[in-house]
Amino acid sequence: MARIQSIGMGGASALMFAIGCWQNVYSFVGTGAVVVCFALLRAFEEQGRGGAPWQPAFPRGNGGSPAPSSATGGGWRSFLGDTAHVSRICNIGMGGASTALFAVGCWQHLHPLAGSGAVAVCFALLQAIGRRNYTLAAGMPVELTRPAQPPTPHDATGLVEQMIDQSRYALLLRQEIVANLSPAQITAARRRLNAEMTLVPAGEISVGYTSRDAQGDGSADCDELESRGTVVRIERFMLDRFCVSNEQFQHFVDAGGYEQMSIWEPDIWPGVLDFVDQTGCPGPRFWQHGRFPEGMASHPVVGVSWYEASAYARWVGKRLPTDPEWEKSASWPIQLRAANRPPRRFPWGNTFDPTRANLWGTGPLTPVAVDAYPAGITVGGAYQMVGNVWEWTTGNFGAWCVPTQDLILTAPARSLRGGAFDTYFDTQATCQFQSGEDPTARKHNIGFRCALSVCDLASEDISLPVTEETPAPESEQATDDQEEALEEVTA
């Protein structure tokens, strides 16, 4: 392409010069000679760079600093400056001279000169556009596609270790797979399961009621609140102690999760290509080049849609929690009698404490690490069920609203729970409050955590306490008890 442009510019310039001499119009001769000189200068400049057309102005990877004079060939090139400066002089000179010839040719009604000038102007514009596009491309990252997938181990032991490192232990502990693992591998997967997830016992919870005590002063009667909800029976399940972090989601991106259509909802298949980061690579919205920001490994992944969260959950062998599951894990209600199941308003109790959650006015106005605010953990040991980032659930927004309330939505919305670092009202950061958002939304304050049904695990892998409605006093103690039970099962 560069050779065609150079030949075209040189030929048009030479034609101008020849016609000027033939017609004895010295101004045309001079202008044509100027264009010929610029074309020759351009050709020498290309040849001085090794004959490789359209090289970037500066070598890649040097921080944008000019190349040393020795790299430009010395001599006249050192006098004029670097290659970018020479190219700019050539383009401006040829374009200006060609435009002048075209204008004078039209004014003097010399059609050959006007035509030659027009051709030269076209080639000059083509040359400038090509140079601009390549310069822009030179400033872009060398690799815009997804990074290479991590090598897949060829032996079963390496594959199991890789899956555990990727937090995909739930797949290993399924009935179909666990029989093929060694005792050491089963123990490693169980320990990772118990360290990253908490057991929520079976029981009932009233979901969907709305407190008449909007200010939270405790004046509303619990029985009155109970009568306005829907009682839901929940079987035992496990919930992530922490929201999914950037580091965990990075494994999903590196493994090509955005290309595995089998883990995505079929209705979003045509739209998966739109789930890219700021540089066009597959990944969360606020990442760059398929990587999370430096120093943010332990922060919750944000900028992911409901579909991305759901696909990640399938990839690790889990799922998103339902609204009743999320609310039960956060509030941990205690059934005092058949008609009274008072839940906690916040994970730590019924009184708002700004030191226990990352909310507006109580935190840094940005997401923090997923293990921050340990004073605000739930009874079962789950962190940040209130504050830091909203969390996707499987439910639809409004599915648990009071039937007497009118809810009109312009489009389907998925349920969000827990509030975020920018939630202003503490009444919107309770265990019972439900918000909603478009399932394709990729916002800066929405993350997620995963759940796992106990029935999905092989029976011999259920190594957690089975007593219902018995809260664990501390998450660390719960983990120790689970590990002791694991040792007994292994023995």
Structure confidence at residue 138 (pLDDT): 43
Asked if pLDDT for residue 54 goes beyond 50, the answer is no
| Backbone dihedral angles phi then psi of residue 23, each to the nearest 5 degrees | -90, 0
User: Stretch 419-437: mean pLDDT, rounded?
Assistant: 92
Question: How far is residue 255 CA from its own chain's centroid?
Answer: 14
Query: Comparing 136-140, 204-208, 457-461, which segment has the lowest mean pLDDT?
Result: 136-140
What torsion do the CA atoms of 180, 184, 189, 190 make, to the nearest 10 degrees?
Answer: 110
Q: Per-domain residue ranges for the chain?
A: 2-62+69-138, 158-487
Asked if pLDDT for residue 332 goes beyond 60, the answer is yes
CB 296 within 8 A of CB 444: no
Q: How far apart are CA 346 and CA 224, in angstroms?
A: 19
CA end-to-end span of the chain? 73
Q: How far apart are CA 12 and CA 486, in angstroms?
A: 84
Strand order through the sheet with 414-417: 434-437, 414-417, 390-396, 446-447
Question: Beta strands of 397-462 (E only): which ranges?
Answer: 414-417, 434-437, 446-447, 451-453
Topology (CATH level 3) of domain 158-487: paralog of FGE (formylglycine-generating enzyme) (3.90.1580)
3-state helix, strand, coil in the chain (%, to 5): 45, 10, 45
> What pTM value is reported for the model?
0.64
> Token pair 């983990």 is at which residue?
479
Query: Comparing 86-90, 227-231, 416-420, which segment has the lowest mean pLDDT?
Result: 86-90
3-state secondary structure 144-198: CCCCCCCCCCCCHHHHHHHHHHCCCHHHHCCHHHHCCCCHHHHHHHHHHHHHHEE
User: Stretch 370-384: mean pLDDT, rounded?
Assistant: 96
| Full DSSP string of 5-24 | HHHHHHHHHHHHHHHHHHHT
Q: Which helix (H) or strand (E) holds 391?
A: strand 390-396
User: Stretch 354-376: mean pLDDT, rounded?
Assistant: 94
**Stronger pLDDT, 484 or 421, i.e. the higher one:** 421
Q: How far apart are CA 267 and CA 265, in angstroms?
A: 6
CB 358 within 8 A of CB 392: no
**Stronger pLDDT, 426 or 307, i.e. the higher one:** 307
